Amino acid sequence: MEFEVLPGTPGLTLADVTHVLIPGYGRDADATALTSGGVDRCRTALALHRSLNRGLIVCSGYKSPADHTGAPQSIDGCSYQGVPEADLMRAWLVETGADPASIRVERRSVDTVTNLLRSDLWFGDERPVAIVSHRSHLRRILSVIAPRTLRRPYLGVVVPGGPPRENPALLPMSRLITAFLPGGAAAVPEATRRADRLWRAAGLLGRRS
């Protein structure tokens, strides 16, 4: 399978990449299954991981702050509303043949900024990552979010299809959330607080990306 790569860290190529990150793309109406776009991201990510034959896949996402669907769930002693996106992605990957030992689940993030911040902690090293998403989403990730959140080299791998452009409100929102974030461990709770407040204030409904 041929992969379309969008540049991130200067000079990084797909041959240098170790890990794969999949940001969430929302849940279905009752929060028990992935959207078709989420399945597409998983399909591309699994093919990429198999071609690399190394590293981890981190599935990232709980739900957007505006998503209030789903029955209460208890996972690893924590409460969730509906099944987190990350668990849905992991289930799809495993059912499709991925090695469960190669998959990590980040189920706390609430938007793309927190997807990347929280996922960066799950790889266990500082080796390069490919972020697998749709083209319009990757433009925002690679230009604004990844440079301010990832502590490793990165590039983007394009998932076929998806919207030709994002909601124009998403770019300034990401800029606000990432602006002057504190360093180290303090970045995650601060970005989460900003994301939850800003998304709720904006009244944006539906999937994050």
Q: pLDDT tens for residues 78-94?
A: 999 999 999 999 999 99
**CB-based contacts of 10: which residues, under 8 Å, 6+ apart?**
none
Helices 112-119 and 187-202 cross at an angle (nearest 10°) of 160
Q: What pTM does this model have?
A: 0.94
* Measured distance CA(207)–CA(198) in Å, rounded: 15
DSSP letter for each residue of 78-110: EEEES--HHHHHHHHHHHTT--GGGEEEE----
196: confidence class by pLDDT, cuts 50, 70, 90? confident
Q: Which two tokens stand for residue 199?
A: 């998304």
206 has a pLDDT exceeding 90: no
Average pLDDT for 47-53: 98
Confidence of residue 72 (pLDDT cuts 50, 70, 90): very high
| Residue recorded with tokens 């000079």 | 11
What's the pLDDT score for residue 169?
Answer: 86
